[in-house]
Amino acid sequence: MNIRELLQDLTIQLRGHNALIQIQIDGQYIVKRIGDINQLVDNPTMVSCAGSSSFLDWMDSEIGKETFTSGTIANHKATLAVLRKFKSDMTFVDIDYKYICDFDNFLKGEGYAINTIAKFMKIFRRFVNLAIDEEMMTSYPFRKYHIKTENVQKQSLTERELHRIENKVVDKEMTEEESKVIKGFLFSAYSGLRFSDVLQITKQHIKTIYRNKWVVMRMQKTDHEVRIPISKMFNGKAVSVIQESKTTTGKLFHLPCNARCNLILHRVLKRFGIHRHITFHCARHTCATILLSKGVSLSVIQHILGHQSIKTTQVYTQEPQSVNKCQSQSNGYLSDICKSQRNMLVHGSFADIQFVSNFLVAHIFISTHLEDAPALPRHLVNSFSNTGFQSACKFRSIKLRYIGYFCMLIVKPLYNNMVSDAAQSCVSRCDIEIVIQVLDIPHTLSLLP
């Protein structure tokens, strides 16, 4: 920066005026007098250069520089859109305590929930703080404003309410935007995917594995891969929703922002006779609670939802009775398999005995390698020492690369019809497929017919 040239330009521009220019740069203090400074007034009007400029344009440029996740950036853009709707010509000097209170009342009038308003306000406050840090603003307008939130118990739809929505979608007339939101909501309920993942899913994420459809994708929030057997859940209704989409390469769902979706969802469900506070995220919660009520184990639901710890799944469901019921059903399920195997030792073929034994050994392996997975009771392991259970303890230290061949011993006889109906009734194909997908064994799949 050439200060001399800058001052020369200012002198030329201000010729004919009286001016006193004071500039402090690092350790230098520069004074330039133009005209007769004795003619200057004592109390001049202070005009802030930043104050008259657009806060919204500045906020838009700052969002363009962000490197956050796509979901966070989408929330910032949604807040910017709401601020523009409130006042399109907002400047820095406009933002004071009264202005924030007026914006709060505007959001309430638009029908946004308390926690949604809190989200908008927190993002607004973040950019106000950033403007202060960059010396675009001097005062802090949020000093007297308190952002209010409320503890909302996680809501989920019952199976009957879900059927009601499905039926009403056919009967009721909806706008194009409402139809898109409801279809996305139903797909989330059928698959357990978050809103951010529903936005990103394409037909390339739908994989066919042994005549069944699976969603295989990396979650936006955690960047971990999730594998969801949508053909086996909710009678494959998620597959039907996908088939309705005409796109072949693009995204399956084109939805507005999360806040807008919740607003539309509330309006549509009210017309359908559902008056509870249901948000888009409740679809994910609905998926978990209905699967729990059907007796699906928590460890399976954990992998469907993509939770790293089963404790997260337990807190997420907030259904302690259902959790206990599910765990007892899991133990009862394993006990029933053991009883069936006992009968097969007497009446079944060698293939049947080997098949069910191998599945139980696989379950022990999974129980020892997946966090908090339900383990087989010790007395049941000891009671079948002659049928492969004693050797199961050796699998506790086995490396994952060997489990592929081990699972092949279970799956290949099943798909080659080498196992009787009695043995197949003990272990469903769905359970076998979930075992393979959870363990993520590519070479096992290549060995199968």
pLDDT in tens, 190-223: 999 999 999 999 989 999 887 889 999 999 888 8
Residue 438 pLDDT > 50:
no
pLDDT of residue 64: 92
Between residues 88 and 428, the one the model is more confident about:
88
What are all long-range contacts of 339-345, with beta carbons under 8 Å and residues at least 24 apart? 340/422, 340/423, 340/425, 340/426, 341/384, 341/387, 341/426, 344/422, 344/423, 345/387
pLDDT of residue 358: 57
pLDDT of residue 152: 63
Residue 361 pLDDT grade (very low, low, confident, very high; cuts 50, 70, 90): low
CB 255 within 8 A of CB 268: no
Q: For residue 163, what are the contacts with CB-CB under 8 A and spacing of at least 6?
A: none
pLDDT of residue 351: 53
Q: What is the pTM of this model?
A: 0.48
Mean pLDDT lowest among 116-120, 327-331, 380-384, 425-429: 380-384
The mean pLDDT of 274-292, rounded to a whole number, is 90
Q: List, for residues 131-190, the tens digit of each pLDDT value.
A: 999 888 888 999 999 999 886 667 889 888 999 999 888 766 789 999 999 999 999 999
The mean pLDDT of 28-34, rounded to a whole number, is 83
Mean residue pLDDT of the chain comes to 74
pLDDT of residue 136: 86
Residue 230 pLDDT > 50:
yes
pLDDT of residue 268: 93
Strand order of the β-sheet with 212-218 is 206-209, 212-218, 225-228
